Structure 1
Amino acid sequence: MALSGMRGLSVFISDVRNCQNKEQERLRVDKELGNIRTRFKNEKGLTPYEKKKYVWKMLYIYMLGYDVDFGHMESVSLISAPKYPEKQVGYIVTSCLLNENHDFLRLAINTVRNDIIGRNETFQCLALTMVGNIGGREFAESLAPDVQKLLMSSSCRPLVRKKAALCLLRLYRKNPDVVNVDGWSDRMAQLLDERDLGVLTSVMSLLVALVSNNHDAYWSCLPKCVKILERLARNQDVPQEYTYYGIPSPWLQVKTMRALQYFPAIEDPNIRRSLFEVLQRILMGTDVVKNVNKNNASHAVLFEALALVMHLDAEKEMMSQCVALLGKFIAVREPNIRYLGLENMTRMLMVADVQDIIKRHQSQIITSLKDPDISIRRRALDLLYGMCDVTNAKDIVEELLQYLNTADFAMREELALKAAILAEKFAPDLSWYVDVILQLIDKAGDFVSDDIWFRVVQFVTNNEDLQPYAAAKAKEYMDKPAIHETMVKVSAYLLGEYSHLLARRAGCSPKEIFTIIHEKLPTVSTATVSILLSTYAKVMMHTQPPDPELQDHIWAIFNKYESCIDIEIQQRAVEYFALSRKGAALMDILAEMPKFPERQSSLLKKAEDTEVDTAEQSAIKLRAQQQMSNALVVTDQRSSNGSLPVGQFGLVKMPSIGSNADANAADQGLAHANGTLSTVDPQPATPSADLIGNLLDPLAIEGPPEAAFSDQKNVVPGLEGVLDALALAPVGEQSNSVQPIENIAERFDALCLKDSGVLYEDPYIQIGTKAEWRAHHGRLVLFLGNKNTSPLVSVKALILPPAHLKTELSLVPETIPPRAQVQCPLEIVNLRPSRDLAVLDFSYKFGTIVVNAKLRLPAVLNKFLQPISLAAEEFFPQWRSLSGPPLKLQEVVRGVRPLSLTEMSNLFNSFHIMVAPGLDPNPNNLVASTTFFSESTRAMLCLLRVETDPSDRTQLRMTVASGEPTLTFELKEFIKEQLISIPTPTPALSPAPTLALAQAQPVSPTTSVTDPGAMLAGLL
């Protein structure tokens, strides 16, 4: 029963609160929802006041966690009410109940715009607040100009202008195109002259977003930001209401310093001096006080100032002052301040030479290892690891070993790894290193990976002077009644190899060695039994003259394990028994292990894999926990033009890459030669200037198919015939009644230069992609959208990766519901340099129609490049150090598409190869650099020089250099393929005799496609 007046809402809230259990609450809510639904059916009899009351109830029910799937139209309709109370309710409830893609929001755009451009400031604030909360791309395109006018208007009150700034920030995040870079630089500089701190704070939030995307356009804002900091630091013209515990507008100070961190180093000496004076004032004026709120505000400003000092690469004196200040913070009782102090000290180590100063606080940092808060203990461990060197390695490693006894299980594996790395990097002598590793295994065997004991074996094997000492220490540990199995492994191995040295020097007999090892046999797993059998054979081999009793005992063990169910143990037992009867020849057969070749430490490599910025790591984990690990099905409304929106493209948790990824590796030459192998007829290509077209065009291979497969690698068993058939069949002959919408190759070419867009579309399905690339890892999400009112069935997707990529695709559902979207995360790891491509083998069934398409995935070589800017003093030493083939390759490239130097620079920059103007004294030459990432090379610097001929732009000389031969070759060929492209078809160029891809005949490039606006509504 509806109650008159707003009293009905109060009574309903009281009824819900008085419910004894969840079931009673649900019944009361269902009753109220039924009543509201009934009243809304008779909407003609509802007054705006009654509608407002019921909408409030709906909002309260929604806040309780119940689904409210009706009444949205009534909420939106209240926005157009002429009176403030109803309009306020309409805006608030609409903001809470609807998301930016809801169809009903389109109905309100005109009303919202009328409120924004009207003269009622209250209505303007309501409209700006709602748009700032839920505004999507449609709002951005429709309302951004009006919001910009409000922001720049001198007649509007500050209250409206600061809401306009935050609203524009939201619209910019949804669609950066709404802010024209050329026009807004001067406007932003003008807005920074604002005296009202409320408007200034909102404008600074907008500036942070703008400069994070393009700092070059906003250099004029930099001196204004410094002036703002000066004004706040001196507390000039700061109203009392913007002073927080005596600190002038700490929020504005933090945002201003954050904006400054997006600009490169400041060159102007006056601006730099003024800024450092402000930072000095902040550093000197911050201390720990009893008031928690004041501490929070002052330390927020201080730590942002420290980040800016590190960014500006200040003089060592200021850096020392920062470290001294942080030293005070890591000694206070407040855990949050200690945490921030330790974290910022760690960052300080990475950007400045302050290691000696930080060492003064070593005892306090070690004390933090025993803090009750595990996050503080982790930061202390990171800092100790970073500050360790030869002078303090012994002290730090010994502290870590002591801490192992009481450390949390969650930290012990990381602790053991870092202690082992420090012992290896900074060991004063190798015997100390052996002691540390054996202590480590003894105290935390469960958390010591095999890499650690493998590494100590390598050191002992390669250093003859260390072998007797290592054998003696191994015997000491084996004498203990109970030791960890990892200790049994390493000790048994060392005694098997070097126990004869121990017998000579310490008078320890082989029988005694055998006895202490054999006592551990019943307690170990099958993997360790294999090592023990090898040790027995070695001990018997070193026993000269032979001991018949010992020999019989060992033979009995071999006989026992000859019938073992474990194949590895059985084979060892049989072979060792047979070999042991060879007599003197056994000495040659079971000779000591040779020295290991010098190689990168697997421990250091493992540490590099796990070193991620702690704050970023935490954010990644948090986002990952909020997402589903497998395919996510999202129902979606059709947009106004009939196509299916791709949605939000939010971060999706990617599955971890399993060991079976390599088992799916398909023919490396397939993607390289055939590109898009689709059973759907592609549309005919149309001319354009897209340079990437020829590299990946399936029709660009001339000559016999085997030429394109000259670098063929391993093929998945059972797929050879399929792949060969696909490779030999021209794309045009694989016809199907279903035609793709727009050219597939053009879509692929566009995705090679950007990270999101449409990969494939036909009348029934749309496949979009959004990718995120970081170093040698890639996270790509496939968005499979059903465009019809009937389901798509028998959906299958398989990744055919080349040998250099490791991929794992999450489970793809067999059915895509009507007008729904499936999100399928794909994890990609780049193992080594290569230009070959991964292929998505995709098929589905719609009614009686079966569609199959093989689509190239845009995981191309340039996705694993990151541009790097090098000054002349950095570039030329590197260039000279890489002398001659195979690290430096040079080639004269003919048949180049005529490009101006500016066009060529833009082409290189689009592929993440940064051109450095002015480095080469010849104005007709280009010099560029980039960094390539793969699992095998890690971060590898690549250098490029292009010498052009002004009289003949169709030829040039190109030199590419890197520290890895394969990378140099692949990058050279990759760049060459971008340059060999001409605007109209001509006879084939003479093929290079040694390169299959040089046989590619230039064809008409394809046009780049502008993706449909509705499809990309949530994508770009």
Structure 2
Amino acid sequence: MNDILAQVATNTETSKNVGNTILYETVLSIMDIKSETGLRVLAVNILGRFLLNNDKNIRYVALNTLLRTVHVDTSAVQRHRSTILECLKDPDVSIRKRAMELSFALVNSQNIRTMMKELLSFLEKSDAEFKAHCSSSIVLAAERYSPNKRWHLDTLLKVMVAAGNYVRDDVISSTLQLISESTNQQSYVTLQLFRALSEDHQNRQPLTQVAVWAIGEYGDLLLQASSDDDNNTRPPTEDEVIEVYQKLLWSPQNTVTTKQYALMSLTKLSTRFTNTNKIQQIISSFCSSLHVELQQRGVEFSQLFGKYSHLRPALLERMPPMEVVRQSDTQLNGDISDVEPKTAENSPQHITNSESNALLDLLGGTDGSYDIDIIKPNTHPTPPITNTNNQDLLDLLGLDPLPNAPTTETGNNMGLLIENNNSNLLPIMNNQNSNFLQGDLFNTNTVSERDVPTIIAYNREGLKIVFSLDIVPDSNMLTINVTATNHTLLTMTEFLFQAAVPKTFQIQMLPPSGTVIPPNGHMTQVLKIVNPSKNVLRMRIRLSYVIDGNPMQDQEEVNSFPTDIWD
């Protein structure tokens, strides 16, 4: 195969389109088989020549193929980096989009400075439809490969300036977190943000929000910024800073959210600056604002200058460094605009009996050996389980009833406390309940857990699914924490995970954390399995998702569960 493909690749005439078609299929064959390194380099070079073709369709095909094969031989694709970057200037929007995605795939620690310079230039001149995705991708690349903190901060600042109002919330949160943890650079970055804020604040709301947050936290450092940090900028005076805040708060172009940021920041400056009278006057002027949110803040913050002035320094002290929560660990670094609210029609858990039977057929369960159970998201507190051997344990933990398990008609407050999030915990928990939760429910002497190995259930096409097993000793219930991680550079949407187990088991699937998995992001879901007979667990899983507009579907049988987990 290697010899044949090499002969076709080197002897095919490219003067006509049919020759290009043969070369294209040859490249696909080379990338699909276990070909030699030299042959793969030859294939990438053919695609590189396609990028120089005058036909835009051939250029698009080349970019699309390079994007799919860049992980096979990244070093070979890197040789064509300059040609790929030139495609960012192509008049065709589809070519620019593919060139942008391929450029981000080529970024590494060696070329980060050069690539970011080109991509920032592209971001500044690009159409509005590119700015949100491009800015978030630059932030991810800078976070992974930045050579130092100052370069990282400068890059984020340039992103907010270039992208303007198209900056997503994940960029804002990443910038605030980075400023918070970069103790040695806080004076420098606050001065840079103030300069950017003074130049233009009307068309860049995200930049304004980040700037006023930093100035509010580090206003004292801003006034003391040394010329060594920036030879071109002197530190401002208190009056100059307050004057900028006046323009921000009274400008009709700024959103209510931006003004909320500014009011909070200005209130904090009252403990960093000495000229508090002017600050108090500005804040008091919002006590009669037409916007309820601004009026509420004006009234509440004004109280800190009067009756509760003794509490102001403690309430407005500087925030500690934020906990490091990288974008790959949260949904924020995803395409927030792609996340749609779930409804009964589009929820992955909304599956009819006929669909369940079809899934059993697909998973090979037509012989009746496998059972599947899809549970819809709960909208009401779940009643406790009765008439089961482990009833007391399930009632204590507030777990949902298992499939076909009989239930009582009354609810259980403990189920509400454990199943819901912490925001639902505080309003209904008094001191007595608090002592009970701390002293009894979470007493490690009462309920203890042991470590159980994790299982890699699936690992193909950039998607990796890991099972973390968790079982309470002396019980027949196993909890599986499913983590699906997207290792590609494209967002996975409409993600659906389904599972089937033998009929001797009972399985319950809780709602997933989401249906969109951004690049380097993940989705989590919890499975609860009861094994009355304590047999060896087997499972069949089915996955479906959409990536780059292409629907993907696969299935896998998981037989690597430990045999001693039920002992």
Could you tell me the TM-score, scaled by structure 1's length? 0.36
Aligned positions of 1:69-108 closer than 5 A: none
Match of 1:854 in 2: none
Which residue identity is paired with 1:556?
A: Q
Match of 2:382 in 1: 669
Taking a change above 3 Å as real, the CA distance of residues 464 and 580 of structure 1, as seen in their structure-2 partners, is: farther
Separation in structure 1 between the aligned mates of residue 224 and residue 514 of structure 2, nearest angstrom: 54
Match status 1:509 vs 2:214? no
Deviation string 1:312-365 (CA, Å, 9 cap, x unpaired) is 3x3433322222222222122122221122222222223x2x333322211111
Which residue identity is paired with 1:455?
A: S
Q: Deviation at 1:532?
A: 0.9
Aligned positions of 1:35-184 closer than 5 A: none
Match of 1:778 in 2: 496
SS at match of 1:479: helix
1:496 to 216, 232, 238: 216
SS at match of 2:565: strand
Which residue identity is paired with 1:338?
A: R
Taking a change above 3 Å as real, the CA distance of residues 481 and 448 of structure 1, as seen in their structure-2 partners, is: closer
Match of 1:333 in 2: 54
Residue pair 1:413, 1:447 contacting (<8 A) in 2 also: yes
Separation in structure 2 between the aligned mates of residue 593 and residue 911 of structure 1, nearest angstrom: 45
1:713 to 419, 433, 457: 419
Residue pair 1:530, 1:569 contacting (<8 A) in 2 also: yes
Separation in structure 1 between the aligned mates of residue 196 and residue 412 of structure 2, nearest angstrom: 60
Which residue identity is paired with 1:341?
A: A
Q: Deviation at 1:586?
A: 2.9
Deviation string 1:492-547 (CA, Å, 9 cap, x unpaired) is 1111111211212355322221112322222212111111111211222112xx33
Separation in structure 2 between the aligned mates of residue 708 and residue 895 of structure 1, nearest angstrom: 28
Separation in structure 1 between the aligned mates of residue 385 and residue 95 of structure 2, nearest angstrom: 50
Deviation string 1:406-455 (CA, Å, 9 cap, x unpaired) is 31222222122212222222211222222222222222212101221221
Taking a change above 3 Å as real, the CA distance of residues 588 and 293 of structure 1, as seen in their structure-2 partners, is: same
Separation in structure 2 between the aligned mates of residue 574 and residue 942 of structure 1, nearest angstrom: 60
Match of 2:77 in 1: 358
Separation in structure 1 between the aligned mates of residue 565 and residue 493 of structure 2, nearest angstrom: 26
SS at match of 2:14: coil
Separation in structure 1 between the aligned mates of residue 413 and residue 256 of structure 2, nearest angstrom: 49
Match of 1:239 in 2: none
Deviation string 1:3-52 (CA, Å, 9 cap, x unpaired) is xxxxxxxxxxxxxxxxxxxxxxxxxxxxxxxxxxxxxxxxxxxxxxxxxx
Aligned positions of 1:594-633 closer than 5 A: 594-601=320-327, 605=331
Q: Deviation at 1:562?
A: 1.5
Match of 1:308 in 2: 32
Aligned positions of 1:68-467 closer than 5 A: 275-286=1-12, 288-289=14-15, 291-296=16-21, 298-309=22-33, 312=34, 314-350=35-71, 352=72, 354-467=73-186
Which residue identity is paired with 1:330?
A: L
Which residue identity is paired with 1:402?
A: S
Match of 1:736 in 2: none
Residue pair 1:668, 1:802 contacting (<8 A) in 2 also: no
Aligned positions of 1:494-893 closer than 5 A: 494-506=214-226, 507-523=235-251, 524-543=254-273, 546-547=274-275, 551-581=276-306, 585-601=311-327, 605=331, 665-667=378-380, 669=382, 696-699=403-406, 713-714=419-420, 777-778=495-496, 804-805=511-512, 832-835=524-527
Deviation string 1:572-599 (CA, Å, 9 cap, x unpaired) is 2222222234556533221111111122
Could you tell me the TM-score, scaled by structure 2's length? 0.63
For structure 1, the residue ranges without an aligned partner over 5 or more in a row are 1-274, 613-628, 631-644, 650-662, 675-693, 718-772, 781-800, 809-829, 837-860, 862-890, 898-903, 914-940, 948-956, 960-975, 977-1020
Identity percentage over the alignment? Answer: 19
Separation in structure 2 between the aligned mates of residue 408 and residue 441 of structure 1, nearest angstrom: 15
Q: Deviation at 1:284?
A: 2.8
* RMSD of equivalent CA atoms: 4.3
Q: Deviation at 1:402?
A: 1.2
Q: Deviation at 1:561?
A: 1.1
Match of 2:198 in 1: 479
Taking a change above 3 Å as real, the CA distance of residues 711 and 286 of structure 1, as seen in their structure-2 partners, is: farther
Taking a change above 3 Å as real, the CA distance of residues 341 and 510 of structure 1, as seen in their structure-2 partners, is: same
Which residue identity is paired with 1:332?
A: N
SS at match of 2:526: coil
Residue pair 2:8, 2:23 contacting (<8 A) in 1 also: no
Q: Deviation at 1:604?
A: 7.6
Separation in structure 2 between the aligned mates of residue 710 and residue 478 of structure 1, nearest angstrom: 47
Separation in structure 2 between the aligned mates of residue 518 and residue 487 of structure 1, nearest angstrom: 17
Match of 2:231 in 1: none
SS at match of 2:110: coil
Separation in structure 1 between the aligned mates of residue 305 and residue 246 of structure 2, nearest angstrom: 18
Taking a change above 3 Å as real, the CA distance of residues 553 and 609 of structure 1, as seen in their structure-2 partners, is: closer
Taking a change above 3 Å as real, the CA distance of residues 560 and 376 of structure 1, as seen in their structure-2 partners, is: same
Greater RCO structure (CA 8 Å; 6+ sep): 2
Separation in structure 2 between the aligned mates of residue 501 and residue 373 of structure 1, nearest angstrom: 47
Separation in structure 2 between the aligned mates of residue 439 and residue 894 of structure 1, nearest angstrom: 60
Separation in structure 1 between the aligned mates of residue 55 and residue 385 of structure 2, nearest angstrom: 59
Residue pair 2:44, 2:76 contacting (<8 A) in 1 also: yes
Residue pair 2:541, 2:558 contacting (<8 A) in 1 also: no
Separation in structure 2 between the aligned mates of residue 277 and residue 610 of structure 1, nearest angstrom: 48
Match of 1:121 in 2: none
For structure 2, the residue ranges without an aligned partner over 5 or more in a row are 227-234, 339-344, 347-353, 359-375, 388-400, 425-483, 485-491, 499-507, 516-521, 544-556
Taking a change above 3 Å as real, the CA distance of residues 910 and 285 of structure 1, as seen in their structure-2 partners, is: same
Match of 1:1012 in 2: none
Aligned residues: 414
Residue pair 2:27, 2:43 contacting (<8 A) in 1 also: no
Match of 1:61 in 2: none
Separation in structure 1 between the aligned mates of residue 318 and residue 150 of structure 2, nearest angstrom: 20
Residue pair 1:672, 1:835 contacting (<8 A) in 2 also: no
Separation in structure 2 between the aligned mates of residue 278 and residue 668 of structure 1, nearest angstrom: 66
Separation in structure 2 between the aligned mates of residue 540 and residue 832 of structure 1, nearest angstrom: 44
Deviation string 1:718-740 (CA, Å, 9 cap, x unpaired) is xxxxxxxxxxxxxxxxxxxxxxx
SS at match of 1:833: strand
Q: Deviation at 1:371?
A: 1.0
Residue pair 2:156, 2:175 contacting (<8 A) in 1 also: yes
Separation in structure 1 between the aligned mates of residue 135 and residue 118 of structure 2, nearest angstrom: 12
Which residue identity is paired with 1:334?
A: D
Q: Which structure's CA Rg is the greater one?
A: 1
Which residue identity is paired with 1:697?
A: N
